[in-house]
Homo-oligomer: A and B are copies of this chain.
Amino acid sequence: MSRKILRIDMESESLKFEDLPEDYKYLGGRGLTSQIVADEVPPDCHPLGPNNKLVFAPGIVTGTSAPTSGRISVGAKSPLTGGIKEANAGTSFSQKLARLGIGAIVVEGKPSGAMYKCLKLDKDGVQLVNVEDLSGIGLYDAFAELRSEYGEGLGVCGAGIAAELSGANSGIAFNDTEGMPSRYAGRGGLGAVMATRGLKFILVDDEGAEGVEIEDEGVFERGRKKLTDALTEHDVTKPGGALNSYGTSVLVNIINEAGALPQKNFSRGSDDRSAKVSGEKKSEEIKKRGGERPHRCSPGCVIGCSEVWTREDGGDPVGVLEYESAWALGPNCEIYDLDTIGELNRQCNDLGMDTIEAGNTIAVAMEGGVKKFGDEDGALELMEEIRNGTPLGKILVNGTEFAGKAFGVTRIPTVKGQAIPAYDPRAIKGIGTTYATTPMGADHTAGYAIAPEIMGVGGEEDPLSPEKAELSRNLQYSTAVIDTTGHCLFTAFAVLDIPEGLEGMVEEVNGVLGTDLTVDDIPEIGKGVIETEREFNKKAGFTRQDDRLPEFMREEELPPHNDVFDVPEEELDRVFGDLG
């Protein structure tokens, strides 16, 4: 059984299955969402108008036994950046979708009414059910209600209150293994694209599903074993390794030490108090509280970087508290209390917001005098403003750049309208080169130069050197391929250092698709994905002026290195060539 596209017109409420077109046969995940968006969405449309479409796609190997491959890609024209967007999350939802034989869900049309719907999928078919009673309700409760009504084991995806407010900071939440809404395709406002189409939730039941078709089991199995071996060998990804022991927050102390952990809206690169929110400290607390660590975002992950963070008494579990979230809602707001950060993260998950964008928004609001830096209760009050849909909430839910404008702040850390993640580009210039040039807006996951610049993975690079075009380009190409296969980006640590791991990943893909790809094909495939994305952005009006970091980062020195972002414009334009 070959993969299908499920196409849903939310205006007419018509649902139909189509065969995956021949042209899309070798695509999955990001490669597929970006191609469909490029082929079907007019680049000049309003992101929340009737002509935008929302596309969900599991990766090529998602739903198989390939290790650490439970990613779902979501794509559309972004309300936050105005360009093409792919955001992905690790969740069993994706595996279930793939096992039902679904290559992509395309959600299109815009109903004139406001009655929210839930899309239900199982082996027997699909239907839309009214869920208007779940409007205005937090996602923790909504996910619990849906699972209680339709089955605890189902995959759940949903858009929250932030999306109902049409917020440019609204993500799409997916279930974690406890069924909580803590796995996020968070960036770029995709939740609002979903909600404005009248779609609030998707439920997937894969009971009795045929599973993912594998063209050559032998090749697949050989690849699976090679990649699994690499992941369990590499220091970063192995059991008991850095990610498994401390999660992504292992980076807090490392990046703070490197002078690149942004404090107080990107005004300093380190602060001794950062240690209070480190992965080591968090791991210790989780043990005391009876949370979980290590933990997996989806079945079949051999890294296990996740966790379940709880309140001090072990109650009100949040799900994972990632490095990015802990930083954005923490040091960037001069907040150094893990419980406050956990509560802020829980609010983001519950409201349906990206934590990176939300933390940056709060920091900019603090710079604009709305609250004081370090005001923990004040930050939590801002979340209530969003929940209540007040005018202040409507400012905040639209993200960092929007809030900066409302509050008269000119130090706004965004690229293409999207907030910058937890590595200050003035102290680590390869990641800054990625922020500037990825079609996605500031996004560390688009070409994770931290690996060679800080971790010594995939080579070693001086973080302060401004010659990073080639590094960023290569990483962006290979990332686009990983995002297409459905593997977690963290598999990159192993495959960058262990050639057999990379071979294994390619063999898994060959096994599933019946192709004869080699590792040498990777750059060309990645290039194809990114060119499709950049072409969309160009038609949407992007130029090389959009491939730049904010003015203040080029002019204001960041302590302790006291450096500015000095990668020359020519170097940035050399990443992909000039858009004109």
Binding site for B on A (CB under 8 A): 43-46, 48-49, 51, 165-166, 168, 196, 390-392, 394-395, 398, 402, 405-408, 410, 412, 539-543, 545-546, 548, 550-552, 580
Contact = CB atoms under 8 A, between A and B. Distances in A.
B405 A398 contact: yes
A422 B484 CA distance: 49
Contacts of A550: 46
A546 B551 CA distance: 22
Contact of A406 (B196, B394, B408, B543): B394
A287 to B, nearest CB: 42
In the complex, the count of this chain's copies comes to: 2
Nearest to A396: B391
Contacts of A391: 390-392, 394-395, 406
B410 A46 contact: yes
Lowest 3 CB-CB distances: which A-B pairs, in order?
A541-B545, A166-B408, A391-B392
Nearest to A52: B410
Given A402-B405, A406-B398, A44 B392 contact: no
B551 A541 contact: no
B545 A51 contact: no
Given A391-B392, A580-B580, A48 B408 contact: yes
Contacts of A392: 391
A179 to B, nearest CB: 30
29 contacts: A44-B548, A44-B551, A45-B551, A46-B410, A46-B412, A46-B550, A46-B551, A46-B552, A48-B408, A48-B410, A49-B410, A49-B551, A49-B552, A166-B408, A168-B405, A391-B391, A391-B394, A391-B406, A394-B407, A395-B395, A398-B406, A402-B405, A402-B406, A539-B545, A540-B545, A541-B542, A542-B543, A543-B543, A580-B580
Contacts of A540: 545
A395 B165 CA distance: 15
A545 B44 contact: yes
A404 to B, nearest CB: 10
Grouping DSSP codes into helix (H, G, I), strand (E, B) and loop, the A interface class, with mixed when no group exceeds half, is loop
Contacts of A49: 410, 551-552
Contacts of A542: 541, 543
| Chain B CB within 10 A, most for which of A391, A551, A580 | A391
Contacts of A539: 545
A51 B552 CA distance: 11
Contacts of A410: 46, 48-49
Contacts of A43: 545
A454 B517 CA distance: 65
A394 B370 CA distance: 12
A469 B406 CA distance: 37
| Chain B CB within 10 A, most for which of A196, A540, A550, A551 | A551
A548 B580 CA distance: 19
A48 B550 CA distance: 13
A539 B551 CA distance: 14
A487 B294 CA distance: 74
A359 to B, nearest CB: 20
Nearest to A406: B394
A146 B318 CA distance: 59
A551 B110 CA distance: 15
A562 to B, nearest CB: 19
Contacts of A407: 394
Contact of A541 (B51, B168, B543): B543
A165 B408 contact: yes
Nearest to A167: B408
Nearest to A545: B541
A189 to B, nearest CB: 10
| Chain B CB within 10 A, most for which of A49, A392, A410 | A410
A541 B552 contact: no
A233 B50 CA distance: 52
A401 B49 CA distance: 14
A412 B392 CA distance: 21
A257 B470 CA distance: 62
Nearest to A393: B391
A45 B402 CA distance: 17
A10 to B, nearest CB: 15
A78 to B, nearest CB: 13
A412 B79 CA distance: 14
Nearest to A110: B410
| Chain B CB within 10 A, most for which of A392, A407, A545, A548 | A545
Contacts of A51: 551
A394 B395 contact: yes
Given A44-B545, A46-B550, 13 more contacts: A44-B548, A49-B410, A49-B552, A51-B551, A391-B392, A391-B394, A391-B406, A394-B406, A398-B405, A398-B406, A402-B402, A541-B542, A542-B543
A2 B391 CA distance: 53
A49 B542 CA distance: 23
Nearest to A370: B391
Nearest to A408: B166
